[in-house]
Amino acid sequence: MTGEAGAASQAPCRSVRLQFNPAYCGFKNVKYQGLVRGKSSIAVVQGRGPMTLTLTAMETVSNTKSATITITAEAVSGAVGFDVTKSRTKSMAGSWNVPRGKFGTLNAYPLYREYSFNVYSKITGKVVGKGTARKAVGYRYEHSAR
């Protein structure tokens, strides 16, 4: 067994430099999971009713990737079919009527198409990691009154 093959059997998807190596690793079960809201609000307006809250802005939202194994953005991009490092600047506009006597909040969150995937070893055939990739596609508005 050569030194590189020996290293591959110890870390099935990594080269000697401990980086993702497509010679030893591949993707399985790339699946669209649906639309998901980002965790953090990117814009907010508030006010006391009766009034109409209007939120209009230009915001930059980035695609994302995460995995339980160290893997390059280029490899994930190839597997899911879009550039996971790309950002998009989009305009947004939304409004909501706050009821009389209430204090209202209108939040905008990034909206993503989410894909899941498994990373497997081409040597052992076993899954060695998993991850998700998200493509920014728009915004989700949520309102509340108290």
Q: 127 pLDDT exceeds 50?
A: yes
Q: What integer best gives the mean pLDDT of the chain? A: 87
Query: Tens digit of pLDDT for each residue in 43-100?
Result: 999 999 999 999 999 999 999 999 988 888 999 999 999 999 999 998 999 999 999 9
Which are the contacts of 27, defined by CB distance < 8 A and separation ≥ 6? 75, 79, 117, 118, 119, 120
pLDDT at residue 19, as a whole number? 60
* Tokens, residue 10: 């110890």
Question: Do the beta carbons of residue 106 and residue 53 sit within 8 Å?
Answer: yes
Question: Do the beta carbons of residue 79 and residue 27 sit within 8 Å?
Answer: yes
At 49, phi and psi to the nearest 5? -80, 160
Question: Do the beta carbons of residue 53 and residue 88 sit within 8 Å?
Answer: no
CA-to-CA distance for 31 and 117, rounded, in angstroms? 6
Residue 124 banded pLDDT, cuts 50, 70, 90:
confident
Instruction: Provide Rg for the chain, Cα atoms.
Output: 21
CA-to-CA distance for 98 and 47, rounded, in angstroms? 8
> Coil, strand or helix: which one is 6?
helix
pTM of the model as a whole: 0.81
Cite the DSSP H helix spans in 44-133. 73-80
